[in-house]
Amino acid sequence: MRPSGFSGTLLLLLLLPATLAFKASDFKTCSESGFCRRGRALASRAQESGTSWNSPYSIEPSSLSLAPHQAAFTADVKSSIYPSVKFNLDVRIHEDGGVRVRMDEVDGLRKRYDQAAQWALLEEPSIHRDIRWTVGKANAKAVYGPKKDIEVVVNFNPLKVTLFQGGKEQVVLNGRGLLHMEHFRTKEVSQPEEHIEAEGQTVLQVDPAVWFEGDSQDAWWEETFSSWTDSKPKGPESLSLDITFPNHAHVYGIPQHATDLSLPSTSGPDARYTDPFRLYNADVFEYLADSPVSLYGSIPLMHAHSPQSTVAVFNALASETWIDIAHTDKKGVETHWISESGILDVFLLPGPTPEDVFAQYARLTGTAPLPAHWALAYHQCRWNYVSSDDVRGVQKRFDEEDFPVDVFWLDIEYAEDHKYFMWNKKTFPDPVEMTKDVEAIERKMVVIVDPHLKRANDYPVYKRASDLGILVKPKSGEGEYEGWCWPGSSSWIDFFHPGSWDFWTSLFKTKSIDEQWSWTESTDNVGIWNDMNEPSVFNGPEITMPKDNVHYDGWEHRDVHNINGMLFANHTYQASAARTDPPRRPFVLTRAFYAGSQRFGAMWTGDNLGTWEHMAVGIKMVLANGLGGMPFAGSDVGGFFGNPEPEMLVRWYVVGAFSPFFRAHAHIDTKRREPYLLDEPYKSIVRDILRLRYSMLPVWYTAFRETSANGMPILRPQYMMFPKDVAGFGIDDQYYIGSSGLLVKPVTEKGAKETSIYIAEDQVRLLRLLHPPRLPRLL
């Protein structure tokens, strides 16, 4: 390790090709979530039992069926505690060497949700035709790869799947015996304890499943949180799975969380947190800067890295999921994934290099498209620019003060009564002319369109959606779900309903077709901002939609929650592209996301605070999103809440200038903080930072082109660039821009006069320090 002290923000050329605080009571902890309690209790029983613990799941060898001319097989799986319940296992090796493991209940009382991968995947992966499985009495195995050093072994009893590389275990599924697919069952009326007579003694009849499942039907059929009751008509259906990386000491990914890039432990003696990491898209107000709490998006992808190899696991589930992480004494990592519903559908990405893993994941879920050049420039936003004159005035000041800017944004107050698409003509009497004034000098407008629709028959968007029957339904499956959001009483379009897709596309047409209402008071170049799409419901449990709401085809919201936001952004992206023929590159910003969301635009880190801590953790979050396959990311410059002091604001502009998505944004209660309002020397410093961003647009555009081709992150953490340098594996406050060789180390501490950078032992030593010329005045 070679720390070097430099002033300002470091950019190194290495010659390489306000109001309320976070309310924890609004959101569940694991102990308040029935299926998470059950999953953790299962892990505790396993740990207490030690070596005597065995998984009840096994493969019936005689049922194994090899696919002809393909590297795939299916087999029956049975459970020793429920012999009458049947499961099916499907294992296949893809053409690029990835392994997919699926398990589902067969002929159950109900059907488990099995469509999460369908929404995430770019297409169904092709199965390898030249690899052959060898089936023995105890296992089935396949050896493949250019060096024949990759091996997949599926043990029959107990069921276990292991991926080897060079003879070493890379990933193990169910090695700790925590696999449990709660089967569908009927709700039974409580019966008195059954006793039998045995040689004159009364003996309590013991349920054979107790040793594994426990003796409590904890939250099987109903669950209460705060004032809300979640009915569970299908009963318990959670899925538990342990995934172990025996030879990898660092794991990364599973965004979105405000935490370190190298994920800390949540269980075991070195646990930083008492709760597991949670994946459950939520509208978290003023989130904590160091927490496993779920945030706005969920990507169930985890990377594991060691000096010898990199592997990853994509666990295609759309329901609420909790993930315990434990770093073992043997320099490995044990993880335990607990999901509320869904099937087992796991993709093992064998690597062995970081580049290989990103390519394998990109082949599954796609890459971020190359955006329009203007989308990489500086975006100016606040809640809200209040009128057409306000927008024109802000643009004029930017020009008068010689500040580069390419995009102006409008938040929810442009819309009359928060009826999106409908302009408030008192404040925006000339929306098309205003937009064209911005576009006249090659700038763009972005306008917000949220997913909630005001329930008003004079609102044509709601009226037509209601008439088409494409709105989310309450738990009864009849009528329309009614919740509360910005407009007041609201309903939500069900984007799982195929009938919603053409409807949504039609709204964005700037010329009315077939006399159907469309957004004629817009232009073809307007970008779209999709906020609140977790979905956020102000009067709902955990500020979201009840889990027993009903979507298309009868699926409960609990089954599809984490996909909901992706579908909204997806169809907004498609609608934007369909505005012109040929289509132009759309710009869509989304707050909620899932695996595959990278195909539909950018994201930001949500409602951050104007604090030094949030500035610093925002860098880690953007890096984690890149590892999750969603690289077009950034945090609100200056923080959404609060009034940052000039030093902090300047430092945050530097962070933004070296982020893929560069936008300043602020809450309605904050003071105006457009950069031209700063006093000197801060105003000139920010002007230079913006100019530096614009001078580097070719670097950014090249990095975006690379990620669109190969899935590599735009911002690359230290371990990716130097994968054998152990000391760099935990570094998350400096990073590289694409393959440019540019190393960035933002300063995120108040009053800092110098900072340190980490240089790997095998790193090229030719360094050049760059910073905006006026930046030293700040110090």
Residues 455-469 pLDDT 10s = 999 999 999 999 999
Radius of gyration of the chain, Cα coordinates, nearest whole angstrom: 27
pLDDT at 770: 56
Q: Does 765 have pLDDT greater than 90? A: no
Catalytic residue among 531, 559, 725, 733: 531
Q: What backbone phi and psi angles, to 5 degrees, belong to 320?
A: -55, 135
Is residue 402 part of the annotated active site? The answer reads no
* Sole residue written with tokens 């296949």: 92
Q: Does 19 have pLDDT greater than 50? A: no
Angle between helices 499-507 and 460-468 (to 10 degrees): 160
DSSP β-ladder status, 72-79 and 57-59: antiparallel
Sign of the C-alpha dihedral computed for residues 21, 255, 38 and 226 taken in this order: positive
CB distance 723 to 354 below 8 Å: yes
pLDDT at 642: 97
Sign of the C-alpha dihedral computed for residues 718, 724, 728 and 732 taken in this order: positive
Q: What backbone phi and psi angles, to 5 degrees, belong to 577?
A: -65, -30
Q: Does 190 have pLDDT greater than 80? A: no
Higher pLDDT: 201 or 720? It is: 720
Q: How confident is the model over 397-419, as a mean pLDDT?
A: 99
Helix (H, G, I), strand (E, B) or coil at 577: helix
Among candidate residues 438, 406, 442, 382, the one with its CA nearest the CA of residue 691: 406
Structure tokens at 566: 């992706």
**To the nearest 5 percent, what fractions of the chain are helix, strand and coil?**
25, 25, 50
Task: Give the model confidence (pLDDT) of 365-375 as tens digits.
Answer: 999 999 999 99
Catalytic residue among 275, 607, 706, 733: 607
pLDDT at 777: 42
Sign of the C-alpha dihedral computed for residues 50, 56, 62 and 68 taken in this order: negative
* Sole residue written with tokens 């090796």: 93
CB distance 714 to 628 below 8 Å: no
* Sole residue written with tokens 């019966």: 191
Q: How far apart are CA 241 and CA 251, in angstroms?
A: 17
Is residue 114 part of the annotated active site? The answer reads no
pLDDT at 772: 53
Q: Does 677 have pLDDT greater than 50? A: yes
Domain spans of the chain, in order of start: 28-183+237-254+299-365, 375-449+497-536+562-722
Q: How far is CA 472 from the centre of its chain?
A: 23
Task: Give the model confidence (pLDDT) of 264-302 as tens digits.
Answer: 999 999 999 999 999 999 999 999 999 999 999 999 999
The CATH superfamily holding the domain 28-183+237-254+299-365 is glycosyl hydrolase (family 31) (2.60.40.1760)
Helix (H, G, I), strand (E, B) or coil at 135: strand
Structure tokens at 482: 């009614």
Cα distance between the two ends of the chain: 26
The CATH superfamily holding the domain 375-449+497-536+562-722 is Glycosidases (3.20.20.80)
C-beta neighbour count of 12 within 10 angstroms:
21
Helix (H, G, I), strand (E, B) or coil at 432: helix
Is residue 531 part of the annotated active site? The answer reads yes
Helix (H, G, I), strand (E, B) or coil at 701: helix
Q: How far apart are CA 748 and CA 75, in angstroms?
A: 54
Kindly write down the DSSP assignment for every residue of 620-669, as one continuous string: HHHHHHHHTT---EE--BT-SBS---HHHHHHHHHHHHTSSSEEE---TT
Bridge-partner residues for 645, per DSSP? Answer: none
Catalytic residue among 416, 534, 636, 725: 534
Q: How confident is the model at residue 712 (pLDDT cuts 50, 70, 90)?
A: very high
Ramachandran area for residue 73 (φ above 0: left; ψ -120 to 50: alpha; else beta): beta
Structure tokens at 350: 């064998």
Give the max Cα distance, the chain.
Answer: 99
Kindly write down the DSSP assignment for every residue of 207-228, as one continuous string: PTTHHHH-S--TTSSEEEETTE
**Considering the entire predicted model, what is its pTM?**
0.95
DSSP class of 540 = S
Q: How far is CA 175 from the centre of its chain?
A: 27
pLDDT at 515: 85
